């Protein structure tokens, strides 16, 4: 029969493993979404670049310029989502381990580091999701501005 401390340890072990897997999956999902949006924004920007040099009515040009600025901002945010983070002073990630000797790595691996890794990866995931959210907002604003620009453009 399991004692309460054994049950707690088994439950904690399972929960740590599940949390680590979940946060790692979320980071992967965020990177995938960011990559998809980067491709979309790049295609829209390429399409808008084909209009460069054409004479457009002032309202159309202004709205289009604002849309390009919003898409540019979204693109920068998305690049920050997929940009690797190799700095930091945490003791639970491969950038930290890369600075250690083999003996130091063995020493720091004597304890369970999953809780620390969950904390570090959760912070990374939260930052990525925040940037992704802002990038989607900028992309939506750009699409609204482009719709308004299209309404002000002359029919040719």
Which pLDDT tens digit goes with each residue over 63-86? 999 999 999 999 999 999 999 888
Quick one: pLDDT at residue 156?
A: 64
CB atoms within 10 A of CB 55: 6
Quick one: pLDDT at residue 124?
A: 92
Total residues belonging to the chain: 156
CB atoms within 10 A of CB 152: 15
Question: Number of folded domains in the chain?
Answer: 1
Quick one: pLDDT at residue 53?
A: 84
Reduce the secondary structure of 123-152 to three states and give it as a string. Answer: HHHHHHHHHHHHHHHHHHHHHHHHHHHHHH
Q: CA–CA separation, 92 vs 119, rounded Å?
A: 9
Q: CA–CA separation, 31 vs 35, rounded Å?
A: 6
pTM: 0.84
Q: How far is the CA of 66 from the CAs of 32, 80, 92, 145, 153, in angstroms? A: 27, 21, 42, 7, 15
Where do we find the tokens 């493993």?
17
Quick one: pLDDT at residue 135?
A: 98
Quick one: pLDDT at residue 43?
A: 96
Residues of the chain with pLDDT under 50: none
Which residues constitute the domain of residue 64? Answer: 4-152
Q: Structure tokens of 53? A: 């040099």
Quick one: pLDDT at residue 5?
A: 55
Where do we find the tokens 């990374």?
124
């Amino acid at each position: 029969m399991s004692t309460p401390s054994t049950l707690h340890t088994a439950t904690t072990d399972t929960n740590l493993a599940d949390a680590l897997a979940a946060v790692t999956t979320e980071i992967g999902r965020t990177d995938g979404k960011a990559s998809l949006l980067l491709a979309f924004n790049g295609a829209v920007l390429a399409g808008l670049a084909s209009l460069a040099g054409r004479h457009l009515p002032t309202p159309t040009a202004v709205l289009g310029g604002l849309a390009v600025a919003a898409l540019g901002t979204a693109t920068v945010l998305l690049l920050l989502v997929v940009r690797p983070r190799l700095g930091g002073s945490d003791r639970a990630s491969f950038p930290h381990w890369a600075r250690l000797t083999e003996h130091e790595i063995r020493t720091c691996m004597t304890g369970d580091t999953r809780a620390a890794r969950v904390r570090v990866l959760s912070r990374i995931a939260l930052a990525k999701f925040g940037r992704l959210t802002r990038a989607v907002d900028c992309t939506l604003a750009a699409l609204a501005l482009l719709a308004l620009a299209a309404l002000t453009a002359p029919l040719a």
